[in-house]
A and B are shown apart, each in its own frame.
Chain A
Amino acid sequence: MSNRLLGGLAVVFTVVVLAPATRAGQEETYTPPRTEWGDPDLRGHWLPGAYQPMETPTGDSWRPPEGANRGQGAAFSRFFEPDPETARPERVRTPMVVDPPDGKIPLQSWAAEQRGQIMSNQDKLEHLDPRVKCLPSALPRANLPVGYNTYQFLQIPGHVVILYEWNHLYRYIPLDGRPHVDPEIRLGMGDSRGHWEGNTLVVDVTNFTDNTWVVGHGAPPEGAPASALTTGHGVFHSTALHVVERFTLTHTDTIHYEATIEDPNVFTRPWKVEYDAFKRAPANHILYEYACHEGNGRNISLMTGTDIDTAAR
C-alpha cells in the first residue's frame, strides 16, 4: 500500500468520525417547510447527490489507463488519492458505508467470493448487472448517485410517492401504518411502508425479488480489478432483504439519506450507508421518459442471440 494511499485513508477516517456530528447539527438547526396538512415537505424535483465511493477499497490502488473511459460515477481507489484535477469540489471521498466503521460491506465469505466472480465476469450473461438488463434498481441502489436519473417527490395526505426517471420506476409509500403486503409477493422496488419521526421520513421496505443488486453505481471502468472498485457493484441479495430508509431535509436544497441493509443470507450483520442523496433541481426541471428496455435491443441480442424485433414469444 502506498504512502499516498495511507495518507488518503487517514483523511477519510477523520471525516467519517466528524461527519455524523455535523449532520446532526444541521438537522437541529434546519426546520423544513410543512405541507398544507402538516407533514414535512419533500415535494419537488431532485437531482442525484455528489458521486462518492461506496466502500473503502481493498487490494491494489488502481488507475485507469491514460485516456480510458473512467466510468461515469465509478468510484475506485483513486478516489482516496489527491485529485490531480482538483476542480471537483463536489467529490466526496468518505465511503457511503458508515457502519461497519471500516467502510466495507460485511459480506459472508461465500458471498464475497461470489461477488468477486460477478465482478470479474461482467461479460457473462449470468453475472450481468441487472440494471443493464433494465430490471428495477431495487433499494437503496435506486437512490445512489448515477447519471441518467433524477427524481420527483410527490405528497398527498397519507402518501409519499417517489418517481425515478431511470427506467420509469415509482414507489408508493403509504403512511397509515398498514402491514406489509403478503410475504409471497415479490416486488422489484420492494414493498414500502413509511412513517414520520420528527422531520424524517422512515420507510421500511421488504418483499424484494432476488434478481437485483443492493448497491452499485456507475459503470466500472474497463479493466479495473474488482478488488479496487468501491462502487458497490455485484452486491446481490436474497428475498430476505430488508431495508430501512431515512429521508431528512437537512437544508432547503438537500435530502440526507440513510439506509440500513439487512439480509441474513448474504451479510454477516446489518450495515448502513449514509450520504446526501438528493439535491434540489433547477426550477424548470422535469422528468423525461427513460425508455430503458425499448432501446436495449443490441444488448438483448448480445445476451440472448435473438433479435427481439423478429422474435415470437
Chain B
Amino acid sequence: MRLILILGLTAVAGVHVVWAQEHPGAAAYQKVCRTCHGPEGRGDLAPPIASMAFDVDYVVAVVREGYGQMPPISTRELTDTEVAQVAEYLKSPAEAQGSTYQGPRTSAGHPDLNGIWQVLSTAAWDIRAHNAQDGVPAGLSVVEGRDIPYQPWAVTKQQENYANRLTADPVRKCYLPGVPRITYMPFPFQILQTPNYVVMTYEFAHTVRIIYTDDSPHPLPNDFWMGDSRGHWEDDTLVVDTTHFNDRTWFDAAGNFHSDALHVVERYTPTNPYHVNYEVTIEDPEVFTRPWTIRMPLYRRVEEGLQLLDYDCVDFILQSLGSP
C-alpha cells in the first residue's frame, strides 16, 4: 500500500519536473551549498541534506551560526530570503535533483532510454497553433509563450515559405528533416544508449543521429543536415547540444525556418519508464530576436514485437517523379 502511495505521489510530482531546475532556491544552492554538499545535495565534503525536509527556521539558524565543520554564512553570501528558498528547494529530493524519475537505469547510473519512442502531437505540420486542413489535424502551439520571436524580415520569409510549402518544404523532397523536426515527425524512433554514444535511429528515411556523450567537442566547421550533436547528462536529463547545421531544413511543414547559425539544445528528461519531457531551446541570431523554447512529451511505444520498419522516402519520390 505504501509503495502504491509513493508511486502515486511520484506521478503527480512528475508534472513539475520540467520546472524543478527553475526553483528559486536552485541558484542559491548551486552558488553556496553545492561546494560541500554536492551538486545534488547528496553529500560530498559535508553530509547529504537533500530530502531532509528541514524546518526553515532551523536552516536559517544553521546557515547563520554554522554547525560542526560547517562555517557560518553571512547575509552577503546568502540573504534570508535565499536561505528560505534553499530550504524549500531541499524539501523535495526529487525536485532538488531536477528529477522524479523512477525506473530502470543503465550500468552508468543514467535513466535507461533504450527502446522505441514517438511524439504524439501535430508539431510536424505546424509547431504553432493551427486549425485543421485536409489531411492535417488541428493542434495547439508547442512554443513556450505561443509565438516564435522572428525578426521582422523573417516574418515575411516564413509567410512566403508557408504559401509555397507544397513545393518548398525540404521534407517533401525527402531531404533529411533536421533537428528538432526529426523528433516529432509522425514516425517512431529508437534510442540506443551506451556510455559514449546515444544513437537515435528514426524510421523516417532511415535518419541517424550519433550523439557523442564522451566529452568530445564539436568537430571542424562542416555543415550537416542533422547538425553535429554532443551530449552530456545533467542529473537525470540528457542534454544534447547541436550546431553545424546548414540552412536548408525547416522546423515543420508550415515553413518555420532558421539559418545556418542555428544552435539547438535539447533536454530529454524521463519522468518514468514511459515518458520523457522533451524541451528544446532554439537560438539563431540571424533569424530570431531571442532564444525560444518548444516542449512536448515523448511516449515509449510498448507494443509487443514492435520494431522500426521502413519509410524509404527516396523510393517514393523517385516513383512520383516518374522513375521506374
Question: Which residues of A come within 8 Å of B, CB atoms?
Answer: 36, 125-126, 133-136, 152, 154-156, 159, 161, 163, 167-170, 172, 174, 178, 181, 185-189, 211, 286-289, 291-294, 300, 303-306, 308-313
Instruction: Evaluate contact between A286 and B219: CB separation under 8 angstroms.
Output: yes
Q: Are A313 and B172 in contact (CB under 8 A)?
A: yes
Select the stretch in B1-9, B11-19, B79-87, B186-194 that faces chain A.
Answer: B186-194
Interface contact tally, CB-CB below 8 A: 109
Residues on the B chain within 8 Å of A188, using CB:
206, 310, 312
Q: Which residue of B lies closest to A297 (CB)?
A: B173
Q: Tell me which residues across on chain A come within 8 A of B305, comparing CB atoms.
A: 178, 181
Residues of B within 8 A of A133 (CB): 314-315, 318, 323
Cross-chain contact B175 with A156 (CB below 8 angstroms):
no
Judged by a CB distance under 8 angstroms, whether B114 is at the interface is yes
Q: Which of A36, A170, A309 has the most CB of B within 10 A?
A: A170
23 CB < 8 A contacts A-B: A125-B323, A134-B314, A154-B197, A156-B192, A163-B210, A167-B206, A168-B207, A168-B208, A170-B199, A170-B201, A172-B307, A188-B312, A189-B206, A286-B219, A288-B224, A289-B226, A293-B174, A293-B175, A294-B225, A303-B321, A304-B323, A311-B321, A312-B167
User: B219 to chain A: which residues have CB within 8 Å?
Assistant: 286
Give every chain A residue within 8 A of B199 (Cβ-Cβ): 154, 161, 163, 170
Q: Is B56 an interface residue (CB 8 A)?
A: no
Candidates A174, A178, A292, A313; contact of B166 at CB < 8 Å: A313
* Closest chain B residue to A37, Cβ basis: B107
Instruction: Given A161-B192, A188-B312, output 19 extra A-B contacts at Cβ < 8 Å.
Output: A133-B318, A136-B206, A156-B194, A168-B176, A168-B208, A170-B206, A172-B201, A187-B309, A188-B206, A188-B310, A288-B222, A288-B224, A291-B176, A293-B314, A305-B322, A308-B173, A308-B321, A311-B321, A313-B172
Tell me if B324 counts as interface (CB < 8 A to partner A). Answer: yes
Q: Check if B317 is an interface residue, CB within 8 A of chain A.
A: yes
B320 x A186 contact (CB < 8 A): no
- Alpha-carbon distance A292/B207, docked complex (angstroms): 11
Q: Which residues of B contact A159 (CB under 8 A)?
A: 192
Q: Mark B245-258, 1 if CB is under 8 A from A, else 0.
A: 00010000000000
Are B190 and A172 in touch, CB under 8 angstroms? yes
Contact for A300 among B114, B212, B318, CB less than 8 A: B318
Q: Mark B162-187, 1 if CB is under 8 A from A, else 0.
A: 00001100001111100000000000
Task: Say yes or no for B45: interface residue by CB 8 A criterion.
Answer: no
Q: Could you tell me the distance between the alpha carbons of A154 and B194 in the complex, rounded to whole angstroms? A: 8
Does chain A have a CB within 8 A of B62?
A: no
Q: Are B210 and A286 in contact (CB under 8 A)?
A: yes
The 8 Å CB contact of A304, one of B201, B312, B321, is B321
Q: Is residue B308 within 8 Å, beta carbon to beta carbon, of the partner chain?
A: yes
Within the assembled complex, what's the spacing in Å between the Cα atoms of A174 and B226? 27
Complex contact A168–B206 (CB within 8 A): yes
B-chain residues with CB within 8 Å of residue A292 when the two chains form the complex: 314
* Contact indicator B166/A312 (Cβ below 8 Å): yes
Contact A36 B107 (CB under 8 A): yes
A239, B234: Cα distance in complex, Å: 47
A125 CA to B322 CA in the complex, in Å?
10
A312 to B172, CA, bound (A): 8
- Do residues A306 and B193 form an inter-chain contact, with CB atoms below 8 A? no
- Report Cα–Cα, A161/B324, bound state, in Å: 32
Q: How far is the CA of A136 from the CA of B193 in the complex (A)?
A: 25
Is B192 within 8 A of A154, CB to CB?
A: yes
For the complex, give the distance between the alpha carbons of A150 and B190 in Å. Answer: 21
B197 to chain A, nearest CB (A): 7
Residue of A nearest to B114 (CB): A156
Tell me which of A159, A188, A189, A294 has the highest count of chain B C-beta atoms within 10 A of its own C-beta.
Answer: A294
Instruction: State the Cβ distance, B213 to closest chain A Cβ, in Å.
Output: 13
Question: B284-324 interface mask toward A, CB cutoff 8 Å, 1 = contact, 0 = none?
Answer: 00000000000000000000010111101011011011111
Distance (whole angstroms) from the CB of B192 to the closest CB of chain A: 5
A contact residues around B194 at 8 Å (CB): 154-156
Bound complex: CA of A282 vs CA of B207, how far in Å? 25
Contacts of B173 in A (CB 8 A): 308-309, 311
With a CB–CB cut-off of 8 A, which chain A residues contact B225?
289, 291, 294
The 9 nearest A-B residue pairs measured at CB = A304-B321, A126-B324, A289-B224, A168-B208, A293-B314, A306-B321, A304-B322, A312-B167, A170-B201
Please indicate the chain A residues that have their CB under 8 angstroms from the CB of B248 in the complex. Answer: 294
A73-B208 Cα distance, complex, nearest whole Å:
26
Most chain-B Cβ atoms within 10 A of its Cβ — which of A155, A188, A292? A188
In the bound complex, what is the Cα–Cα distance between A279 and B197 (angstroms)? Answer: 21
Contacts of A174 in B (CB 8 A): 307
